Structure 1
Amino acid sequence: MEEPKTLCDNIPALFSSFVDTFVDFSVSGLFLPPKPTISPPQKTIYTSPNRLIAIGDLHGDLDKSKQAFRLAGLIDLNDRWCGGDATVVQVGDVLDRGGDEIKILYFLEKLKREAGRSGGNLITMNGNHEIMNVDGDFRYVTKMGLNEFRVWADWYCVGNVMKSLCNGVLEGGVRDLYDGVPLDFPGVKAEIVDGVRARVAALRPNGPIAKRFLTTNVTVLVIGDSVFVHGGLLPHHVSYGLERINEEVRDWIGGFKERVSSELVRGRNSLVWLRRFSDELAKNCDCSTLEHVLATIPGAKRMIMGHTIQEKGINGVCNNKAIRIDVGMSRGCTNGLPEVLEINGKSEVRILTSNALYRNGYKSSIETDVMKGIGFGIPQHGPKQVEVKA
């Protein structure tokens, strides 16, 4: 006589989905919108949208991250997407220096899904700190950051135990989070070992956090006439192939490729570490190399990058062909007031800033100043738009 089917036999996929949702909410406090049935493929080149927003380094500060999105009119007071069909690029460095790293990853994932349902697009990029963490380099991790990963790991393991109650819920069984991760680390204080182990397990190639959130990142991006990269591009990077770079970094983070060239993601001349175009003194920027790089990318007018904190706020050098958007907004950096870059469908560029010095009394309307450059000679960071002639 055939044995009656159990609940697990009837609804394994539903049960697994419930567990994942339970863990997500326990970790982030968010119920993620449903994933699209067919996710769009990772792309390197996009046509110009009607509205393009670039947001700099976030470094583990969820409050400042939300302020930046709200400044650009992308989220409402309930943190829901209200940016319509806008395209947004976050240029990397979500990780390190703060204690909200996982929460920001969830927040960005939520917005990606909400934006997609409204015809918009949120694209996230790899910064040097994403690469460092996948490499197991935790030099800039905070105690709060380690604790966040420890709490995430506890909930992740609870989810695995719940899933294991139903045989066959996951093909091949439930994966042990800590498989292959050392029990201790020489020189690491005992009170933070659990956090370090959790971070290694989560962010190593093919780790649950790396696979889920970082494999969807790009390392270089072209949208219309703007090139986006965390640190900068050199001629040999372009010759290597922009799509090839994105594929190789993605495959390494996802565990499909053992290593990725250090020329791409490690060292001072890599895409995520380069500072040749980021010095606040224009005379110290390598404008000739920048112009050569842009000339080799069809239609490119400007390179937009993060990585190097600009104490004067978002600014441009090399005749505005290099635009630097890292304003150190995280409290783990310089606690700068948020600024974001906006490019409209006519390729007109302006800065949206939260500096109260730009307010006209108590007026809430946004003013516009036409500047010959971007950001120089003006107070940093209220809401104000500083327009730039391309």
Structure 2
Amino acid sequence: MGERGRIEMEPSDLNCRDLPPILSSFVDAFVDFSVSGLFFSKPNPNPNPNPSAPPATRLPAPGRLVSIGDLHGDLPKALQALSLAGLTDPATTRWTGGGTVAVQVGDVLDRGGDELRLVYLLHSLKLQAAAAGGALHTIHGNHEIMNISGDFRYATPAGLDEFHRWAVWYRAGLAMKRLCPGVEPPPDPFKGIPKSFPGVRKEFWEGIRARFAALRPDGPIARRFLAGNQTVLLVGDSVFVHGGLLQNHIQYGLEKINEEVRDWIMGLKGRISPVFVRGRDSVVWLRRFSEGLNCDCRQLEGVLELIPGARRVVMGHTIQDQGINGVCEDRAIRIDVGLSKGCSDGLPEVLEINGGGELRILTSNPLYARRVVEEEKKGLALLVPDTRMKEVEVKA
């Protein structure tokens, strides 16, 4: 201590010896906020005491369970759906769902320009939900699998621009970490990615490079935000999957499918996606139980019989112009209402399953009663028939 109480330091003390953990955390928070406007106090929303362990495939039935369909890069419409479900305050986007368990059935990516902001928001809500005694689970859709595989055919110019902006901030974070010799910067995710893409307009090149870097197996966005997703999830007596399930999927093992997809996204299984998320009959592409009115109910029953305790399958993937509906005596529930402006700009609807197993549709559509009557005339096995309209909640 020098005169007048000044603290004197030797030049050798002015180094990065004590800075690495603080600096690294600060840089990560700086990049997160620059990209999304959000800060994260915890790195992992999984309340499991071993956060590196894979999340469970089977969970007990909660008092309240809700499910939201495909979001496709539309942040405003996603916020409407979350608010409709009672999960967020529309003014603050903070979790208000308490102990509610929510499942979003995939396809957050593509067709819109808010993909990263949606990914960050859902991550933030997972943290808040876990702290409140609830949970938010996101599962893989075919568009997550496509993007991790490098298939960007449904990316929009606005979506490419969003990833380009992420790349600018991510590279700034890498540069900041390199200022301190004690900080170990992560591997450069842009290494090995071409700088030009013949046949693609030049103004999109940087966005494509950034998308490859962020989402390829072991990419920073894929590893941090997508690897923890499940591909199939059983909550109580409801099975959630993006496309659908066949008997060979069950026989192979739902836990095994989840594990293989997770390892692939973490960069442990090469670049090619696992077989059960590839092709028209895979769990993320199947439309056998979600397309049209002629569902093979006998085949669906055979699938459910192989899953102990399962009563229904809840699916996204195929847009339901008539809104959320059920077939096969509500053993197959289809919840993709095409809410994104990049799809059919449908009105948000949410499926609710209470502790007694009763099903409700939460909707903002004031014409719902007429919709029910018209669909009943078509012979559709309605989730909520006209005689049970009290189980349809219409919110302004």
Q: Does TM-score exceed 0.5, indicating one fold?
A: yes
What residue number does 1:51 align with?
64
Distance 1:246 1:152 in 2: 28
What residue number does 1:374 align with?
383
- Measured after TM superposition, the shift of residue 376 of structure 1 is 7.3
Whichever residue aligns with residue 200 of structure 2, its letter is: V
Which SS does the other structure have where 2:382 is aligned? coil
- Measured after TM superposition, the shift of residue 289 of structure 1 is 1.2
Q: How big is each residue's C-alpha offset from its partner over 1:87-134, in whole Å with a ceiling of 9 and x where there is no partner?
A: 010000000000000000000000000001000111110000000001
- Measured after TM superposition, the shift of residue 306 of structure 1 is 0.1
Distance 1:254 1:298 in 2: 30
Distance 2:381 2:155 in 1: 39
- Measured after TM superposition, the shift of residue 35 of structure 1 is 3.6
What residue number does 2:190 align with?
178
What residue number does 1:240 align with?
252
Q: 1:249 aligns with which of 230, 241, 261?
A: 261
1:136-147 correspondence to structure 2 within 5 Å = 136-147=150-161
Q: How big is each residue's C-alpha offset from its partner over 1:58-115, in whole Å with a ceiling of 9 and x where there is no partner?
A: 0000111111110011111211001001101000000000000000000000000000
Distance 2:307 2:321 in 1: 30
TM-score, L = length of structure 2: 0.88
What residue number does 1:199 align with?
211
Tell me, yes or no, if structure 1 residue 5 matches structure 2 residue 13: yes
Which SS does the other structure have where 1:209 is aligned? helix
Gaps of 5+ in 1: 360-370, 379-383
Q: Is the 8 A contact 1:353 1:385 kept in 2?
A: no
1:297-336 correspondence to structure 2 within 5 Å = 297-336=307-346
- Measured after TM superposition, the shift of residue 372 of structure 1 is 7.1
Q: Looking at CA atoms only, which structure, 1 or 2, has the larger radius of gyration?
A: 2
Q: Is the 8 A contact 1:313 1:375 kept in 2?
A: no
Which SS does the other structure have where 1:8 is aligned? coil
Which SS does the other structure have where 1:356 is aligned? coil
Which SS does the other structure have where 1:256 is aligned? coil
Q: 1:73 aligns with which of 43, 63, 86?
A: 86
Distance 1:321 1:358, change over 3 A: closer
Q: Is the 8 A contact 2:326 2:381 kept in 1?
A: no
Moved over 4 A (4+): 36-39, 259-262, 375-378
What residue number does 2:375 align with?
none
Distance 1:183 1:69 in 2: 38
Which SS does the other structure have where 1:331 is aligned? coil
Gaps of 5+ in 2: 1-9, 370-379
Whichever residue aligns with residue 329 of structure 2, its letter is: N
Distance 1:38 1:249, change over 3 A: closer
Distance 2:209 2:147 in 1: 12
Whichever residue aligns with residue 215 of structure 1, its letter is: A
What residue number does 1:64 align with?
77
1:65-214 correspondence to structure 2 within 5 Å = 65-76=78-89, 77-170=91-184, 173-214=185-226
Q: Is the 8 A contact 1:33 1:110 kept in 2?
A: no
Which SS does the other structure have where 2:159 is aligned? helix
Q: Is the 8 A contact 1:84 1:119 kept in 2?
A: yes
Distance 2:296 2:199 in 1: 41
Q: How large is the Cα RMSD of the aligned pairs?
A: 2.1
1:336-375 correspondence to structure 2 within 5 Å = 336-357=346-367, 373-374=382-383
Which SS does the other structure have where 1:10 is aligned? coil
Whichever residue aligns with residue 254 of structure 1, its letter is: M
Report the identity percentage: 60
Q: 1:32 aligns with which of 34, 40, 49?
A: 40
Which SS does the other structure have where 2:13 is aligned? coil
Distance 2:319 2:386 in 1: 17
- Measured after TM superposition, the shift of residue 168 of structure 1 is 2.4
Q: Is the 8 A contact 1:374 1:386 kept in 2?
A: no
Distance 2:207 2:277 in 1: 25
What residue number does 1:295 align with?
305
Which SS does the other structure have where 2:283 is aligned? coil
Distance 1:142 1:376 in 2: 39
Distance 1:333 1:375, change over 3 A: farther
Distance 1:265 1:254, change over 3 A: same
Distance 1:17 1:30, change over 3 A: same
Name whichever of 38-47 and 25-34 sits farther off: 38-47
Which SS does the other structure have where 2:143 is aligned? helix
